[in-house]
Amino acid sequence: MDFSEKIRFLRKKNKWSQEELGRKVGVSNRAVSKWEKGDARPATDTLLTIATVFGVTLDFFLKKDEEPEKKRAVEPGMESLTELYRTGVGPSSSHTMGPAKAAELFRAAFPDATRYKAVLMGSLAKTGKGHRTDWCIQKEMAPRPCEIVFDVRTRELYHPNTLQLFAYQGARRVGFWEVYSVGGGSIAVKGHPVYTPPRIYPHNSFAEIARFCRERRLRLWQYVETFEGQEIWDFLEKVWAQMLATMEEGLEAQGVLPGSLGVQRKAKILFNQRHIDENAETRENRLVCAYAFALSEQNAAGGTVVTAPTCGSCGILPAVLRYVRDKRDFSDRDVLRALATAGLMGNLIKTRASISGAECGCQAEVGSACAMAAAGLGELYDMSLDQIEYAAEVALEHHLGLTCDPIRGLVQIPCIERNAVAAMRAINAVNLANFLTDSRKISFDVVVQTMYETGRDLSRRYRETGEGGLAKLYS
């Protein structure tokens, strides 16, 4: 549909006459008639009013109509791992960290405003309350007041996590941004590419990276070092220290998590309660799960976590690395290399597909984290490039189609338990890769693309809206 068809379609759908629409927008019925005939187009300001009147975004009118995007337009290269592993406050990287960062940048861009307004749309509107999106934005805007509007009506969005920020001096509007919280705490500001981090890696597919590494006989952690520089190790050391600190806090904490579900913390119980006749397998299961619960419970409680690649999936990678480090006596240097390799796989998924539950369901969060953990373990075990690729591929493949349906918008059920299950699955994927890599048929790049297409096909109900699955049926 072109513009004239879109406006006619929306007017008829609302059963308004041209005169009625003209009155709502503040123009004559002749002007509306000209738009519908394609004889004229409204000015941008008027277009914004039209979009508001119909409850759609500006993009609905500006974007050419097309099939739902299945293949992501991938720009060359990838951002630094410092954009993937982010330390911040939970419970959600896309619903708390991203909006908080947007609010911080917006306030710095319009410091003289006397008040602000934030309109939360899409998944941010549907589950923002449970995720505390309103609270974290108001905290960043303080001491200036910030009105929060949960716009659950607007459906035609460029990104499912859309946030509109307004700055005012008295009644006069002095600033406006449309922001997309794209997952893992990253944001994109429409029309402001300056807030987009540089792409320091030249490649963005595993096939390209593998070719580069084979030609130069590099391991994946060395590939990371080549483009990030030596300073990446200081960064990853801090990341690992924070992951362990969060885990320790979670293993100590007791009681009930915040929110209306009354979820009991379980990490400490799992950690301390040995089975009366515990064999090695049971012990492994119990400890890995205890570690994953500890991090995820801290996240649910609004504690400080590292995104790996998101807050909701922050328990998986640290849980398996800590368990295997202790079991096999690996050094912290080995763990940092594993974090580099795991981060590289997460970065590939983030760049070529998505790590956002609102965009592609839980397969994009917990599935990605499981792939990262499997790759990290593969690095720890000194596996070959092919084996690491296969381990990550298996881990992601068997999360395909996983929905995001957090009950009451809280990152608790199914999220916490799911981290523990995925951590165990990462260990299984590495075991399979150890034996079966030579017979594999599916590449990591193919499974990443499959995850993205599957995510785009998922009903909106299963993409962090709290409208389907457990969120709908739990009472």
Nearer to ligand SF4 by C-beta: 83 or 464? 464
- DSSP letters, 41-89, are ---HHHHHHHHHHHT--HHHHHSPP-SPP-S--PPSSEE-GGGTS-EEE
Nearest-angstrom CA–CA distance, 15 and 399? 44
Which strands make up the sheet holding 115-122, listed edge to edge? 146-151, 115-122, 161-169, 172-183, 186-189
Residue span binding ligand SF4 (CB under 6 A) among the ranges 254-262, 278-286, 409-417, 448-456:
409-417
Structural element, H or E, at residue 176: strand 172-183
Residue 257: CB minimum distance to ligand SF4, A: 14
Residue span binding ligand SF4 (CB under 6 A) among the ranges 11-19, 24-32, 223-231, 361-369:
361-369
Q: Is 423 in the site for ligand SF4 (CB under 6 A)?
A: no
Q: Out of 313, 347, 368, 387, which residue is the one contacting ligand SF4 (CB under 6 A)?
A: 313
Residue 296: CB minimum distance to ligand SF4, A: 8
Nearest-angstrom CA–CA distance, 352 and 348? 6
Nearest-angstrom CA–CA distance, 80 and 88? 17
User: Distance between alpha carbon 318 and the CA centroid of its chain, in Å?
Assistant: 18
Q: Give the number of other CB atoms < 10 A from CB of residue 470.
A: 13
Residue 217: CB minimum distance to ligand SF4, A: 38
Q: Is 285 in the site for ligand SF4 (CB under 6 A)?
A: no
Q: Is 317 in the site for ligand SF4 (CB under 6 A)?
A: no
Nearer to ligand SF4 by C-beta: 126 or 325? 126
Question: What are the distances in angstroms from CA 445 to CA 39, 140, 214, 289?
Answer: 47, 38, 17, 29
3-state class of 118 per DSSP? strand
Residue 365: CB minimum distance to ligand SF4, A: 4
Q: Is 183 in the site for ligand SF4 (CB under 6 A)?
A: no
Helix axes 415-436, 366-380, angle to 10 degrees: 40
Nearer to ligand SF4 by C-beta: 22 or 414? 414
Residue 400: CB minimum distance to ligand SF4, A: 14
3-state class of 256 per DSSP? strand
Residue span binding ligand SF4 (CB under 6 A) among the ranges 18-26, 197-205, 387-395, 407-415:
407-415
Q: Is 125 in the site for ligand SF4 (CB under 6 A)?
A: no
User: Distance between alpha carbon 55 and the CA centroid of its chain, in Å?
Assistant: 25
Site for ligand SF4 in 321-360 (CB under 6 A): 357
Radius of gyration of the chain (CA): 24
Q: Is 297 in the site for ligand SF4 (CB under 6 A)?
A: no
Nearer to ligand SF4 by C-beta: 244 or 402? 402
Nearer to ligand SF4 by C-beta: 25 or 311? 311
Q: Out of 128, 130, 318, 414, which residue is the one contacting ligand SF4 (CB under 6 A)?
A: 414
Nearer to ligand SF4 by C-beta: 162 or 313? 313
Nearest-angstrom CA–CA distance, 470 and 407? 6
Residues within the interface to ligand SF4 (CB under 6 A): 312-313, 357, 362, 365-366, 404, 406, 411, 414-415, 418, 464
